[in-house]
Amino acid sequence: AQRVTQPEKLLSVFKGAPVELKCNYSYSGSPELFWYVQYSRQRLQLLLRHISRESIKGFTADLNKGETSFHLKKPFAQEEDSAMYYCVFGAGSYQLTFGKGTKLSVIP
Amino acid sequence: EAGVAQSPRYKIIEKRQSVAFWCNPISGHATLYWYQQILGQGPKLLIQFQNNGVVDDSQLPKDRFSAERLKGVDSTLKIQPAKLEDSAVYLCASRHPGHPTGELFFGEGSRLTVL
């Protein structure tokens, strides 16, 4: 069963513009959700997790149980933010289910 | 610390041939994962090991895929015989038992092309 949905395959924004990468999940309980990022020619890596409510590289993501969403946001996009972003659902035994990903392109 | 090591980085084979990928996780990481990432899709879990035991292999096509982690460290993923649809990047990841949930460390991946 598809646990996370990322509706946009590609998102292009201008430098300095706000960014919102959408993620919706399907789960009746309390989910564990994460955002992973893959920069060009680099390894897939954890960006942030919902439980820590942290801001990493200016990105934040709030879990909205009413809308079953976990959108990734940044107020001002930078060129170095260009990358593939994956919304990830965590289940028991530390398994992770990845969404299909959104490619963010920041236009100078 | 050294990251997750994978080899080979690239492999091209004919369909029906066999191939093997190797992974060396970060030292001390008890949990090891193999993911398959087909072009345009997110990584899909194939198998998860805890030390040398299998935790989950429900999505591993067992008629052609096999994986082992005999001494609880290195792991090998084998495909025999390969099909065209096996063309993908095979990612290995590991996790330390003391690290927060969801924090996996990934290797660079092994890109397989089946002709």
* 3-state DSSP helix/strand/coil % of chain B, to nearest 5: 5, 50, 50
Q: Greater confidence, B8 or B103?
A: B8
Give the Cα-Cα-Cα angle A32, B68, B44 (nearest 5 degrees): 35
Q: Is the pLDDT of residue A93 over 60?
A: no
Residue that the structure tokens 């990322």 belong to: A6
What's the whole-number mean pLDDT along residues B16-23? 97
User: B98 near B109, Cβ under 8 Å?
Assistant: no
pLDDT band, residue A2 (cuts 50/70/90): low
CB contact under 8 A, B42 and A99: yes
Question: What is the residue-averaged pLDDT of chain B?
Answer: 93
The confidence score (pLDDT) of residue A21 equals 98
Across the interface, of B45, B101, B108, the residue whose CB is closest to A32 is B101
Cβ of residue A44 closer than 8 Å to a chain B Cβ: yes
Q: Minimal CA–CA distance to A51: which of A73, A66, A30?
A: A30
Q: What is the pLDDT of residues A37-76, one digit of tens each?
A: 999 999 999 999 887 778 889 999 988 988 999 999 999 9
Q: Is the dihedral of CA B91, B96, A99, A76 positive or negative?
A: negative
Calculate the alpha carbon distances from B47 to A92, B1, B42, B98 in Å: 14, 25, 15, 21
Q: Greater confidence, B93 or A53?
A: B93
Q: Is the pLDDT of residue B101 over 60?
A: yes
Q: Greater confidence, A70 or B52?
A: A70
**Which residues of chain A make contact with B109, given a CB cutoff of 8 A?**
43
Of all residues in chain A, the one with the smallest CA distance to B39 is A100
The confidence score (pLDDT) of residue B67 equals 97
Calculate the alpha carbon distances from A53 to A35, A48, A90, B15 in Å: 12, 8, 16, 47
The confidence score (pLDDT) of residue A6 equals 96
H or E element at residue A32: strand A32-38
User: B16 near B10, Cβ under 8 Å?
Assistant: no
What's the whole-number mean pLDDT along residues B49-56? 90
What's the whole-number mean pLDDT along residues A69-92? 93
Cβ of residue A37 closer than 8 Å to a chain B Cβ: no
Q: Which two tokens stand for residue B23?
A: 């992974």
Q: How far is A68 from chain B (nearest CA, A)?
A: 19
Q: What is the pLDDT of residues A5-35, one digit of tens each?
A: 999 999 999 999 999 999 999 988 778 899 9
Q: What does residue B29 show for φ and ψ, rounded to 5 degrees?
A: -85, 110
Q: Minimal CA–CA distance to A25: which of A57, A76, A63, A52?
A: A63
User: B75 near B68, Cβ under 8 Å?
Assistant: yes
